[in-house]
Amino acid sequence: MEIIWRDSPTYEEARISRVFNHRRPARYPLAVVNATSVSDILQAVQLAKEKGCRVAVRSGGHSWAAWSVRDESILIDLGKYKLLDVDPVEKVARASPSMTGREVNRVLTKEFGLMFPGGHCPDVGIGGFLLQGGMGWNCRGWGWACERVRAVDVVTADGDLVHCNKDQNADLYWAARGAGPGFPGIVTQFHLDLIPYPERGFRGSGYSYPISKYHEAFNWILSITPTYDQDTEIAVVAHYPEGHDEIRLFILLVTMKHTPEDAENALRPAHASHPPGALEEWFCQEDSLANQYINQAKANPEGHRYCAENAFIENDADVAAVLEEAFTTLPHRKAFSLWYAMNPCSRRALPDMALSVQSDHYLALYTVWDDARDDERCQAWVRSVMSRVERRSVGSYLGDSDFQVRQTRFWAEENGKRLMGVRRKWDPTGRICGYLDEGDQSGVDGLANVQTWL
């Protein structure tokens, strides 16, 4: 087990080198443990017990708020702990938390003709992604990625290794699907249900409009989404295209069918009904998961500063009006706003799990810049937008949130209470760092699960 103490010359690199957001935190763990096995994780928890300090965990390092970097903790970095074991007959896999969606799917698609609907950004580790619920590929039609977690193996706050599923340590299994960084243990393996990879029918259509067509184009896609083909992912993005000085509204439909004919049939209704005036458009273009990862990496470049925020918008809201500021006033050329369609997933009863807040409409602000002098301006824009949007929201998604900045609702009321009870049961002393709120004060109490403006 490699332990890098605070006085080590490699400490600073170990502390933040795998933190994706270059708006780096001024928080300092006691030591960083580079784990390569379950045994290393067990030893690291014992080390924390001996030192009387907390444990923090890093899977992919993609948390916008750098939740893994905590003062006076033992940071267990899982970046060198890589495991992927696939049973193609049963269509299941075992994977370690630091495996990214791209790493998992590179093997699954090429070697087995299978896939897992992991995170859209290629370098997001499945650990944090799945604990938060997992708004993965085609979530609107295929459901939350955590619904495909059939079991987890966990090192508890006491340093025991336990297996958790619906029948065994069921409360930990329940919490693992939606607790986020407040999960009271360290997942060492996820047991995942896989799906066939739709290689031949992976196609997309895109429509890029001037921002002056915002209301017409946005209201069009809102009108067709509820009854649209359920194998089709639908998103609207406001961004500055490369080489252009004006914001554009880009509407993307990606369908994941098993034949080209089915893909064309799925995409044709949108093509036949889309408003005129698109500056650029394409219909049923051949695509792939690998290509989508390339596009996502371009939109989320490494070595940049980020401020992310999000909200689930009320189903009966005038969505285009509520999101107008978010989509027409971007503070930086690299920033973008995203609306992601969640219907029909949002209209069905969820399985019994911690994850319990959703709506038809997901808004995310991904504010991206590269100069520290823009910090206050970019963050002020996020605060301004969210101060209005949150009044028409039902809550937020853990993955694009920062508890240090804004208090909001992540779980249904009873789920939130139950989750905090599970946390107290399995980690009564708060050894696992948990939710990083302002001042890192949440401890064993966890989050209040209420919206600030209320």
**Per-residue pLDDT reduced to its tens digit, 6-51:** 999 999 999 999 999 999 999 999 999 999 999 999 999 999 999 9
- Contact predicate 124/159, CB 8 Å: no
Of 366, 353, 374, the closest CA to residue 422 belongs to 353
Cα dist from 162 to 45, 145, 158, 427, whole Å: 14, 22, 11, 14
**Per-residue pLDDT reduced to its tens digit, 228-237:** 999 999 999 9
Of 106, 18, 97, the closest CA to residue 63 belongs to 18
**Per-residue pLDDT reduced to its tens digit, 423-432:** 999 999 999 9
Residue 339 pLDDT: 98
pLDDT at 294 over 90: yes
Domains, the chain, in order of start with CATH, read 2-77 (3.30.43.10), 84-196 (3.30.465.10), 201-400 (3.40.462.20)
The letter for the amino acid at 6 is: R
pLDDT at 453 over 80: no
Residue 256 pLDDT: 98
**Per-residue pLDDT reduced to its tens digit, 132-167:** 999 999 999 999 999 999 999 999 999 999 999 999
- Contact predicate 357/410, CB 8 Å: yes
Residue 221: how many other CB atoms lie within 10 Å: 25
* Tokens found for residue 365: 């602000």
pTM, whole model, 2 decimals?
0.97
> Averaged over 273-302, what is the pLDDT?
97
13, containing H or E segment: helix 11-16
Q: What does the alpha-carbon distance between residue 100 and residue 119 come to, in Å, rounded to a whole number? A: 8
Q: What does the alpha-carbon distance between residue 427 and residue 183 come to, in Å, rounded to a whole number? A: 9
Q: What does the alpha-carbon distance between residue 29 and residue 44 come to, in Å, rounded to a whole number? A: 13
Question: pLDDT band at residue 409, thresholds of 50, 70 and 90?
Answer: very high
Residue 452 pLDDT: 84
Strands 149-156 and 161-164: antiparallel
